[in-house]
Amino acid sequence: MSFKDLQLNRPILRAIAEKGYDNPTLVQEKTIPVVLNKKDVIVSAQTGTGKTAAFALPILQLLFDKQDAPKKGRKIKALIVSPTRELAIQIAENFEAYATYTTLKSAVIFGGASIDPQKEILRDGVDILIATPGRLLDLHKQDLVNLDYVQTLVLDEADLMLDMGFIDDVKKIERLCPKTKQTLLFSATIPYKVEQLASTILNQPQRIEVAQNSSTSKNVNQLLYFVPKKDKIELGLHLLRNTIKGNIIIFRRTKYGVDKLEKTLLKNSYKVDSIHGDKSQTARQEALNKFKKKEVNILIATDVAARGIDIDNLDAVVNFDLPNVPETYVHRIGRTARAGQTGMAYSLCSADEKTYLLEIQKLIHLQLDIIDDHPYPLDPKAKPIIHKSAKKGSKHKKGRKSEASKKKKKRWY
């Protein structure tokens, strides 16, 4: 199937051709026709599957024939709500590119940046608004955002949105929009709380599931290193010196861990930067730009800060801390080996993370390849027994409660 088969108009087809898009991805193929038919949808799709275009292209198509003349003033007719600033900026960049040969105007607003330029953009009027929940509601209170004309509402990365505590904000935003609207919900996973939200705000949605959340690419070589917790940084330095090369993302569970590792790598003359929730928007965006421009080749991040960020040509992912939610492992390593390329995933496992490892292996139906030949081995007696269920796969419930409780206690990302 080609994009022409999806009945997209010439201006949009021209724009996506210039972006190098040849054929739609599976999520685009399944979602675009449903959105064009003005149906509500709930889509389960992981990062890197092309879901932004899956909602952006049909939204542009639907708005194209009803473009307001500038003299009449532009009204917000499509609203995309995103949980993080980086993801909102990325979505806005895509909308701008796809709308190159139309007169449709889009804008992005988010917290952590000066509010005055965003106010000015809104006063000029936009057709499509991409926003983070807090800044959107803040500007609405100031009567600078009018959602009375919204025809399509998109909730992107809904599971992350709820994990970050935005459930009440999302419900309020939905109520501020007209009752008769199209609502599109996209989420990497569909846990119970997302199902609950969907049942209250979507109207007979069509469900689209693109990929199993437990799948990992065969093109990713997944290696496991058992190491005492106190020696993790030393092993990380050893691997960077001798084994791990190229453009690398290192994941840590906490912002404190990110900062600590960054300081160590900088002291050892590595070109490194980092992103997490306590950094300013300017600092986070600058770190991403430096990584994409290859001014630095190592980016250290928390999962929440990195969620949804699209980075091409990533050579390796390092799980410096194993995630305590097994699906997170799949999301992390899925950032490498895209578009048929190969990639590496290195996981450092200390004794206190053995349970996380077992749950990950149960989820992906695979035992990770253990590398014993390194200078900081874990005591053999501390190695976990790899149960047969890791091959067969089984349902997993461990980790979710502890993850949720951490998020309730403090802003850990």
The per-residue pLDDT of the chain, averaged, comes to 86
Is the same domain home to 55 and 104?
yes
Is the same domain home to 239 and 186?
no
Which pair of tokens denotes residue 120? 């000015």
214 in any annotated domain: no
| Stronger pLDDT, 19 or 383, i.e. the higher one | 19
Average pLDDT over residues 277-289: 81
User: Is the full-model pTM beyond 0.85?
Assistant: no
Average pLDDT over residues 308-313: 70
pLDDT confidence bin for 408, thresholds 50/70/90: very low
Phi, psi dihedral angles at 201 (to 5 degrees): -120, -15
Examine the pLDDT at 391 and tell me if it is beyond 70.
no
pLDDT, tens digit, for every residue of 96-127? 999 999 999 999 999 878 899 999 999 989 99
pLDDT, tens digit, for every residue of 12-48? 999 999 988 888 989 999 999 999 999 999 999 876 6
pLDDT confidence bin for 382, thresholds 50/70/90: low
Examine the pLDDT at 387 and tell me if it is beyond 70.
no
Write the CATH number for 196: 3.40.50.300
Is the same domain home to 134 and 251?
no
Which of 188, 209, 230 terminates a domain? The answer is: 209
Q: How many domains does the chain have?
A: 2
Is the same domain home to 36 and 132?
yes
The whole domain housing 104 covers: 3-209
Is the same domain home to 142 and 239?
no
Is the same domain home to 186 and 261?
no
Examine the pLDDT at 402 and tell me if it is beyond 70.
no
What single letter denotes the amino acid at residue 196? Answer: Q
Lowest mean pLDDT among 160-164, 185-189, 210-214, 346-350: 210-214
Average pLDDT over residues 181-185: 97
Is the same domain home to 225 and 347?
yes
